[in-house]
Amino acid sequence: MARLIEPEELYARVGIQDNALNTVNQLVEDRIAGRLEEADRFLLLPDLLGFWLTGRAVAERTNASTTSLLDPVSGDWAWELIDRLGLPRRIFPPLIEPGEVVGTILTGPAAGLPLVAVGSHDTASAVVGTPLQGPDDAYLSSGTWSLIGMELDSPCSARHPGQPTSPTRSASTAPSATSRT
């Protein structure tokens, strides 16, 4: 994918380092291999489960932020990047917020009940649950990755003095996923 966009530019646009396992790389490889020609949508696992339960194909915003295809400033899909990578716009489902009703469960013992989206990106859910009180408070979230961060009023994806040219790892969540009122 580096021939389509430099890793530093990708980071500056979406706040996530280029990593072979990231969704953006998988989708570019799928496009090159012709696997997206007949695709109707792509759904991340939590959204696929919601689709199976409700029949509604959507993308929960905090998890969509992990794809490297979400604009952290607008909170929408990074359409300019998606077009540049040659990915078909038709596969990107509408975005929804945590707490929004995905749809009504269609079958089984819960049929007729609403399915509510959660902050399905684990770091987003962990950050919302931290007892941050002041503007200088930071969090450390450890699991598959260890991430340290702060809640900010807006995303910070620019390189700063002393920061490595290639970021070591970052997490991105939509601004609404980590803002507190």
Residues tagged active-site: 122
Q: β-strands 146-149, 59-60: how paired? A: unpaired
Please report, as a single letter, which amino acid is at residue 83: D
Neighbours of 180 (CB within 10 A): 8
Q: Is 60 helix (H, G, I), strand (E, B) or coil?
A: strand
Cβ–Cβ under 8 Å, residues 104 and 93: no
Q: Which two tokens stand for residue 64?
A: 């969509």
Calculate the alpha carbon distances from 151 to 13, 35, 128, 139, 175 in Å: 19, 38, 9, 9, 9
Whose tokens are 């389509």? That residue is: 4
DSSP letters spanning 164-177:
-SS-S------HHH
The 10 Å Cβ neighbour count of residue 92 is 21
